[in-house]
Amino acid sequence: MISNKETIVALAAQQKRLDQRGLLEYRKPIVIETDISWTAEGSARVQIGSTVVLAGVKLSIEKPYNDTPDEGGITVNVELLPLSSPKYESGPPGMAAIELARVVDRGIREAKAIDVKKLCITPGEKAWFVIIDVVTVNDAGNLFDAAGLAALAALNSARFPMVNKETGVIDYKHKTTTPLPLVKQPLPLTVYKINGQLMVDLSTNEEIAYDARLTVASDKDGTISALQKGGSEPLTVEEIDAMMTIALEKARFLREELQKQLK
Amino acid sequence: MVYKQRLDGRKDDELRPIEAKAGVIPNATGSASFKIGKTWALAAVYGPRELFPKFLQNPKEGVLRCHYGMMPFSGSGERVRPGSNRRAQEIAMVIGKALEPVVDLSAFPNSVVDVYIDLPQTDAGTRCAGLSAASMALADAGIPMKDMVSSVAVGKVDNRIVADLDYREEHIEEFNPESEGASVSDIPVAVIHNTGEVVLLQMDGKISKIELVTALRLAQKVTEKIYLEQKRALLERFPRE
């Protein structure tokens, strides 16, 4: 496919895209599968077009932080695997992976999606900690939305492992039927601006051409829990307003897909 | 103290169910997915592409570079810390050495062919599954190859020589009350299909010379089944006219 920045920018002016999609149209198919990894307490595979990411939830028992002795905690980590794109190299996470992990993390954390008090086992001593790892398998663009969707699907599928009553040691080979205390369902959605036009679900080809992006994490009722502006161009308040409207509307669309396919 | 029947009821030479697929990662030059039981390996090949830093380049032929990693949630116990470690580096090295005899990179001087193996879930036999996937991914990428490499672990569990040990068999004492004091030897093997030559061989445990040769013969026999699955998957990807 011919894909230079100028073409994408020029097409945007005519409200067109390289692959004939509408500006607010997601790639197809959108596939959400859960329990794809038996070794994880919860896991999911998300495909948007040809972008594929996996997410896995691991639980561990740790000492709570001193300032929150009656709370467990969550961590989100993203690995942009060299397996998934020629642009990634082996080594410690770069800026893209760190930002991605932070944005997914804040969407979940700030929505208070997990009732961290319910993760506490013995105040000041023991609490459950939730680690969500998202790894890329094929990066064909829009990792923010794919990673957020995979993380949420994996959280929904997670079940606590058994704990040996005498030793307090986790028996990872056996799961209980108890799900995580997941009280909100935050989903990040990213709206991009190319040549004055707003669009969603950029492919890798299009990602080289955006001027600005805004990721909006929102819950079912439209409550916003995290925002992240990216890109090197500024946004007007009017543009931000319009981007939020699109983000909330498209989040509803992705959430419907999630509910349809989560079983 | 005798291992009468395998824990999952398999015959001694019976492999776990295999699912092999080629061309699963569109960004890669070639790729494959190889599942055996609950062990699942993905492999992607990138290249031939220019090798940097330049002092690593070989002007006579291309360099094959393998990478192996368990995804953070792929261990059957605690979370696996992402990033490389000595185990991963050693496995990547022996996988590379196993593939070198069948791969011909003489047409690609100063280039590198990168093979990335990542596992979403594991239940023993990860280097073998990774190697079987990598061999398919190289073929899928159109890299000149003399043959396929097919890999599986064989071993001795208590008194039995068996193929394709799973995690429970590797830790038989823990999972089989009758096997108290039993020893397990785990022998990852990789075989070149046409010649039957061994390109990967490691062993952890105790075994006699006679038992080892028996185990290797078993490996030669059962890797044929892996080869057939690899071939079937590649034919599915590139149907004959």
Q: Considering the domain boundaries, does residue B183 fall inside one?
A: yes
Cβ neighbourhood burial of B160 (10 Å; 0-12, 13-18, 19+): middle
The CA distance from B121 to the nearest CA of chain A, in Å, is 5
Number of domains in chain B: 1
What are the two backbone dihedrals, phi and then psi, of residue A106, each rounded to the nearest 5 degrees? -65, -35
B2 pLDDT above the threshold of 80: no
How far apart (Å, rounded) are the C-alpha atoms in residues A50 and A27? 8
Q: Considering the domain boundaries, does residue B11 fall inside one?
A: no
One-letter amino acid at B172 equals I
Using a CB-CB cut-off of 8 Å, the residues of chain A touching B67 are: 82, 90
Q: Considering the domain boundaries, does residue B75 fall inside one?
A: yes
pLDDT tens per residue, range B18-65: 999 999 999 999 999 999 999 999 999 999 999 999 999 999 999 999
Q: Considering the domain boundaries, does residue B128 fall inside one?
A: yes
CATH at residue A15: 3.30.230.70
- B116 closest CB neighbour out of A77, A81, A92: A81
Q: Using the beta-carbon criterion (under 8 Å), do A135 and B76 form an inter-chain contact?
A: no
pLDDT tens per residue, range B170-217: 999 888 888 888 889 999 999 999 999 999 999 999 999 999 999 999
Residues of chain A with pLDDT under 50: none
In this structure, are residues A43 and A56 in contact, taking their beta carbons and an 8 Å threshold? yes
Which value does ipTM take for this structure? 0.95
Q: How far is CA A254 from CA A213, A258, B77, B108, B236, in A?
A: 18, 6, 33, 45, 33
Greatest Cα pair distance, chain B, in angstroms, is 58
Strands A224-230 and A170-179: unpaired
How far apart (Å, rounded) are the C-alpha atoms in residues A45 and A135? 10
Domain containing A211: what range? 5-261
Domain containing B35: what range? 18-50+59-233
Pick the residue from chain A with its C-alpha nearest to B121. A37
Q: Considering the domain boundaries, does residue B198 fall inside one?
A: yes
Question: What is the three-class DSSP state of A166?
Answer: coil
CATH at residue B177: 3.30.230.70
Other beta carbons within 10 angstroms of residue A119's beta carbon come to 23
Q: Considering the domain boundaries, does residue B23 fall inside one?
A: yes
Q: Considering the domain boundaries, does residue B139 fall inside one?
A: yes
Other beta carbons within 10 angstroms of residue B174's beta carbon come to 11
In this structure, are residues B90 and A70 in contact, taking their beta carbons and an 8 Å threshold? no
In this structure, are residues A80 and A98 in contact, taking their beta carbons and an 8 Å threshold? no
Mean per-residue pLDDT for B139-146? 98
One-letter amino acid at A232 equals S
Q: Considering the domain boundaries, does residue B3 fall inside one?
A: no
